[in-house]
Structure 1
């Protein structure tokens, strides 16, 4: 893990490119309203790669889609998403179309579901080029081929006429990246772009994202459940649980010393790479039912450090160290992840 941490760079500070405040997403269900995202707030700096991690059901993908207002009624989204001096959650439809897919692009988690099966890959790339860059005809075709070549797809001009089912899983993911990059966005939202890919293709995709971030100067929010991916690629990490942010920190500092019991649990469930053999410590139980408002810390029922101080009001996410926020009342008592407790 130490070797991977060297890839992380210190996040720049200054005026945020994207600022999210008190983001909430409520999803009606037959058995009650599911509060999937609860008061999420964070900033994304220019050129920064922010990793968002957590178990399945923690609200990562729902948060990412809410940033671009992709949830439709009866799902309710509230809060503020500030970009370019505008709140995207209150922006009119015409203004939002200029941002969504143009200045902020999204790589969906399942390319086979996100890609249109009855349109060629070339048509799906040129649609973005036509809408956001004003390119048509031969110019659009040439740029589409350049984008496929940029993402490492061989014989890009020939593959423009292929349909998604004619691409392998890794190539479909690269095609999704090409579509997302067609508008040369300032922010790229990547929803588990390496899920279900073999380790060789996963490594290629991650290296590609790092290369493109460097070449295009864009900021990236990378949603994943894989802490190894975060260690390899990200500058800063936000840990989600039960629809809330539990901790935010520079990636090297989080791996060295987590300041939330849930972050510690995630790290202890990973195999180490050192000579010393340390038993894995799985997190007991399962994620909370977000149709019921938890009392106190949502992680308390599964936490080895939980006590009466964790009950009552839900602990807020507050600064606990320079550049670090935590919602754990026992942040100063947690041991390093490599220790045996």
Structure 2
């Protein structure tokens, strides 16, 4: 495997609130390789979106980001703000979760695309306008020349998401951070958006981090998957291996709570309990209070993220579960 294009080393994001210290991202170590689609999954509140915002230094006070974000040999957390503005939108772009709030409601979409082009390219005048038309056409918006003058509220949900993608791709970035780009879209539009992202990834040679809680989307689009729980990475594996044989109890719980395909009907097995309060995490493994495999050893100390790759699995597999062998012996996912 080639050298990673992005590497997170002990990334931590902490918010100091009236309730106390709130650790949203807790010591995340993660690698992304050129041309790869990496899925970042977990329940709401697990730290997925904050991780993406931390990469681009979009976390503002009272939040504080520490650790390292190594991007093409540079630590983004040590760059000046003018240098960081060249990276945002120029080298790394982000599709935000809700386009209706991310897009400016009082500016035509053509002007919002033009802002990025003026900042990160040498285009101006008619050439800039023509590039904006090409971007709208690239993401599948009909009559792009006329729609440049339209405002966000004049687009449907799926078309607004396409506009967001057009803005993100304006300067041909090498990394796309997609924060639940198909949320609140119907299944047909969701499929169109995912196929569009994969096609553009191949066309532009991008790497993609896709944040989602939809495991069906992960199975359809991602090559590797990182599972987050309570701000920590608890498992990393190739998508096919993770679905076939999860090696963390939380991953197994996520998979067993998803409806299966086929004619055989099985009851869903929900994960008991609720995610922990991030201001008062339990000792040891954060998932232990909800885990059927938990023992006293799990609550004694926090399990490290271990490499459990073997000869039968040449790809790197990481887990933060000390009972990963018991999970393997328990058999396949009940789906």
Is 276-285 or 41-50 further displaced after alignment?
Answer: 276-285
After the TM superposition, which parts of structure 1 deviate over 2 Å for at least 4 consecutive aligned residues? 274-279, 335-340
- Alignment deviations for residues 61-109 of structure 1 (CA, whole Å, 9 cap, x no partner): 0000000000112211000000121100111112111111110000000
Residue 48 (str. 1) matches residue 36 (str. 2): yes
Q: Residue by residue, what CA displacement relative to the aligned partner does 1:140-169 show, whole Å, maximum 9, x if unpaired? A: 111111111111110011000000011110
1:309-333 Cα offsets, whole Å, 9 max, x none, are 2111110111012410000010011
Provide structure 1 residue ranges, at least 5 long, that are not aligned to the other structure: 1-12
Q: Does 1:89 align with 2:74?
A: no
Aligned to 1:311, the other structure's residue is in SS state: helix
For the pair 1:257 / 2:250, whether they are aligned, the reply is no
Q: Distance in 2 between matches of 1:257 and 1:237?
A: 13
TM-score scaled by length of structure 2: 0.96
For 2:268, which of 280, 294, 312 is the aligned residue? 280
Work out the CA distance in 1 between the residues paired with 2:136 and 2:13. Answer: 35
1:213 shift after superposition: 0.7
Q: Which residue of 2 aligns with 1:294?
A: 282
Q: Which residue of 2 aligns with 1:338?
A: 333
- 1:114 is aligned to 102
Q: What is residue 17 of structure 2 aligned with on the other side?
A: 29
Q: Distance in 1 between matches of 2:237 and 2:123?
A: 41
Q: Which residue of 1 aligns with 2:179?
A: 191
* Cα contact 1:256–1:336 (8 A) shared by 2: no
Contact residue 124 and residue 179 of structure 1 kept, 8 A: yes
Q: In terms of mean alpha carbon deviation, does 25-34 or 155-164 score higher? A: 25-34
What's the C-alpha RMSD, in Å, of the aligned pairs?
Answer: 1.1
Which residue is equivalent to 1:239?
227
Aligned pairs (5 A) from 1:123-142: 123-142=111-130
Cα deviation for residue 220 of structure 1 reads 0.1
Higher RCO, 1 vs 2 (CA within 8 Å, ≥6 residues apart): 1
| Aligned equivalent of 2:317 | 324
When the two structures are aligned, how many residues end up with a matched partner?
A: 328
> Conserved in 2, the CA contact under 8 Å of 1:153 and 1:174?
yes
Unaligned runs of 5+ in 2: none
Q: Provide Cα deviations, 1:227-255, integer angstroms capped at 9, x if missing partner.
A: 00000000000000000001000000000
Distance 1:18 1:338 in 2: 32
Larger CA deviation: 105-114 vs 329-338: 329-338
CA contact (8 A) 1:46 1:218 kept: yes
Q: Compute the displacement of 1:179 (Å).
A: 0.1
Q: Distance in 2 between matches of 1:99 and 1:42?
A: 20
Look up the match of 1:4: none
Separation in 2 of the partners of 1:286 and 1:147? 43
